[in-house]
Amino acid sequence: MRYWLMKSEPDEFSIDDLERAPGRTAAWFGVRNYQARNFMRDAMHLGDLAFFYHSGCAQPGIAGICRVARGAYPDATQFDAASLYFDPQATLERPRWLNVDVQLVRRTPWVSLVELRRHPELADMRLLARGNRLSITPVEPAQWDFITRRLMGLD
């Protein structure tokens, strides 16, 4: 199993939205960065766990944990001319963008970006790297354990 951090702006799609979704499962759509897409396509697997991270808001941070519930498949928004995520170069025969389905495992105690930055154990976390803007990043097992056990108090 691998671990991930998946960012979403809460006014676009929040942990509340995932909790209200049928089966608490939804497509993680709208990723328009090739490296993040490649993570979904090549490295994410059914059952992998991810931190659900709220970004682009007053206080960014981890809001919960989700699980990859379906492997990568074409993101339908790339074909919808009315969508913000429309890509005129994508075709049904040659889609450019993918998504995975995620299922809410649990809401967690909020762990803010400020709190994550306070801990030297997390200094190498990709989320904290200067200039990182990827919406999906891998999380090392030691980082996952530190955050879930020490910062969230989970076992």
Say how far apart CA 68 and CA 47 lie, in whole Å: 5
Q: What is the pLDDT of residue 155?
A: 80
Tokens 């979403």 belong to residue: 8
Q: Has residue 6 got a pLDDT over 90? A: yes
31: tokens are: 């990723």
Q: Which domain holds residue 108?
A: 3-151
* 98-112, strands of its sheet edge to edge: 25-27, 98-112, 61-74, 49-54, 3-8, 136-139
Cα 150 to Cα 39, 119, 124, 146, distances in angstroms: 27, 11, 17, 5
What is the CATH number for 147?
3.10.590.10
Domain count, the chain: 1
Report pLDDT digits (tens) over 64-111.
Answer: 999 999 999 999 999 999 999 999 999 999 999 999 999 999 999 999
Report pLDDT digits (tens) over 102-146.
Answer: 999 999 999 999 999 999 999 999 999 998 889 999 999 999 999
